[in-house]
Structure 1
Amino acid sequence: MSKIRSYLKQVSMVMAVMLAFATTFSTSAQARMVGTAEIIQQQQASVDRQQLMSMLDKQEVQDKLAQMGVSKDRVAERIQNLTPAELADFNQQLAEAPAGEGVVGIIVLFLLVFIITDMLCATNVFSFVHCVR
């Protein structure tokens, strides 16, 4: 009987240590409701980015960017760094632009975004634009 008690005492000590170890290093999970609007906004931002990236694949856009001294990779990087609100504004401006402007309007819009981000010290694309700060 004493052997069983000593054995149970050892097992209970091991179990207590394991329980303490498990609760010390465990992480807590947090659950929350995700609204439909939030999911739609995330999906729309992804679609907007894809549309802008597909515009960069057009040869005439690449030629115009090359004429202005801006690389395609730099523009693609900026598109990936746009916030969902900036993407929505950008796509709204593209939708409202007259159909005749086409590529030139898109490129001018890209340049305006780059100039504004240069002025805010977020990028350094153009050497002639100086930081406001």
Structure 2
Amino acid sequence: MDIIRQCSRPIAGFMSLMMLCFTLFAAPASASVVGTGELLNQQQADIDRQALMQMLERDDVKQTLVDMGVSQDEVRDRIQSLTPSELASFKQQLADAPTGEGVVGIIVLFLVIFIVTDMLCATDIFPFVNCIR
């Protein structure tokens, strides 16, 4: 019993010091309310991404990408990096495109996106496109 009493004071002091250190260096947590509009925009962006990924599975789109020398993995990576506003704009362009020209329009849009990202030094897909910087 004496040993426990002798050890409890230094252990209690050490534990108090550790609690004080952890309390001083702890980052405060912050939380905010997520609005319904923000949540719906994110869900719509996920749905749009999924629709574009399914469109890439079509044989005619695959063949056109192969003919242009763009790999399917690069297109998938680019789709994943699009912002929700870019996805919404892309979806609107798809809706406005005539039925027969939809695939060509999609491919041209992807090429334009790739060329712009090459010019901004974000990607290096086309060797003939020079970086702006």
Structure 2 length normalisation: TM-score? 0.82
Amino acid at match of 1:102: G
Aligned residues of 2:49 and 2:79 also touching (Cα < 8 A): yes
Aligned to 1:117: 117
Aligned to 1:95: 95
Quickly say closer, same or farther: Cα 1:18–1:131, change in 2 above 3 A.
Answer: closer
Amino acid at match of 2:99: A
SS class of match (1:33): coil
Distance, in Å, in 2 between the alignment partners of 1:20 and 1:57 is: 57
SS class of match (1:37): helix
Gaps of 5+ in 2: none
Deviations 1:22-65 (A, max 9, x none): 42454432121111111111111111111111111111100000
> Which region of structure 1 is more displaced relative to structure 2, 22-31 or 54-63?
22-31
Amino acid at match of 1:42: Q
Aligned to 1:67: 67
The equivalences for 1:1-133 within 5 A come to: 10=9, 13=13, 16-17=16-17, 19-24=19-24, 26-133=26-133
Amino acid at match of 2:70: V
SS class of match (2:42): helix
Distance, in Å, in 2 between the alignment partners of 1:109 and 1:15 is: 62
Amino acid at match of 2:88: A
> How large is the Cα RMSD of the aligned pairs?
2.2
Distance, in Å, in 2 between the alignment partners of 1:112 and 1:16 is: 62
Amino acid at match of 1:99: T
Q: Could you tell me how far 1:21 is from its partner in structure 2?
A: 4.5
Structure 1 length normalisation: TM-score? 0.82
Aligned residues of 2:94 and 2:102 also touching (Cα < 8 A): no
SS class of match (1:103): helix
Identity rate, percent: 55
Distance, in Å, in 2 between the alignment partners of 1:120 and 1:19 is: 49
